[in-house]
Amino acid sequence: MASFYFKMKNDSGFTLVEMMIAIAIIGVLAAVTVPNFKKYQAKSKVVEAKMQLASAYTAEKGFYQLFDMYATCLDYMGFDPTNEIDRRHFAIGFPNFQANIDPGFYNSAVGERMVASECPRDLVDTPGSSVFLAGKAVGSAVMNTLADFQAAVPVTSNDISMAGPVVPDDVQSGLGTQSDNDSQTFVIAAAGYIDSQNLTPDVSALWSIDQDKKIKNHRPGY
């Protein structure tokens, strides 16, 4: 009985040139995909900022329904993400806006059983009241101090002047005086580190939301 066998024409494996070409192709693909992947990761963290701002907005609107004014006492309103600090890249709140609510509106709210000691007329920008700091780091950086948050959202006069290379527009004053319809306004900011190449306050990611539920991105942070 005849036997048959096949022999590969070339069983010597890859040549050095072929391996070098393959490595070069892998290098090119990595150079293209790794930055895009990092960008995707950074973008995914932005969802956190939007969700926090939406929750703070809801708290402000609920407070308004009760007392016919906005304020900065986010914890008193029911917005308090302190328990989630280890999972948050973004600090959120009123970092150093000048809040000076009209006495008439404020006293009226107190008459409606708002607790003055829990919601002061002037801004108290202490963590756990009007500001909630972050606890999750990117690299070695985390937005976990009031000083960093204030530096990320610097205030010049009554406006927040956006520092950093990207300045598409400004955020207006954080809280209006509530004295009339035009001054019944608020702007809440969220700032955080979401990319390993942008780890200083002036280039951190910065978002805001106002009384009309307009969410703005002032710095991408990546």
Over the stretch 156-192, which tens digit does the pLDDT of each residue have? 434 444 333 333 344 455 888 898 888 898 999 999 9
pLDDT at 134: 96
pLDDT exceeds 50 at position 127: yes
Beta carbons within 10 angstroms of residue 200's beta carbon: 13
Q: List residues bridging with 155 in a β-sheet.
A: 160
Over residues 15-37, mean pLDDT: 67
The confidence score (pLDDT) of residue 9 equals: 55
Query: Does the pLDDT value for residue 27 go beyond 70?
Result: no
**Average pLDDT value for residue range 77-83:** 94
Task: Give the number of C-alpha atoms closer than 13 A to the C-alpha of residue 202, restricted to the C-beta side.
Answer: 4
What's the pLDDT score for residue 21? 76
* Residue 33: pLDDT band with limits 50, 70, 90: low
Does an H or E element contain 190, and which? strand 187-192
Average pLDDT over residues 25-29: 69
Pick 100 or 61 by higher pLDDT: 61
What pLDDT is stored for residue 95 in this prediction? 81
- Asked whether residue 36 carries a pLDDT value surpassing 70, the answer given is no
Domain-by-domain residue ranges, the chain?
Answer: 47-219
Residue of 48 and 17 predicted with greater confidence: 48
Q: Does the pLDDT at position 102 exceed 80? A: yes
Q: What is the mean pLDDT of residues 122-127?
A: 79
Average of per-residue pLDDT values in the chain:
82
Residue 72 near residue 175, CB atoms below 8 Å: yes
Which is it for strands 155-156 and 131-132: parallel, antiparallel or unpaired? unpaired
Distance CA(125)–CA(106), nearest Å, equals: 18
- Does 97 score more than 80 pLDDT? no
Top-confidence range, 34-38, 93-97, 159-163: 93-97
Cβ neighbours for 135, distance < 8 A, ≥ 6 positions apart: 85, 86, 87, 88, 142, 144
- Closest among 140, 157, 128, 120 to 199, alpha carbons compared: 140
212 has a pLDDT exceeding 90 = yes
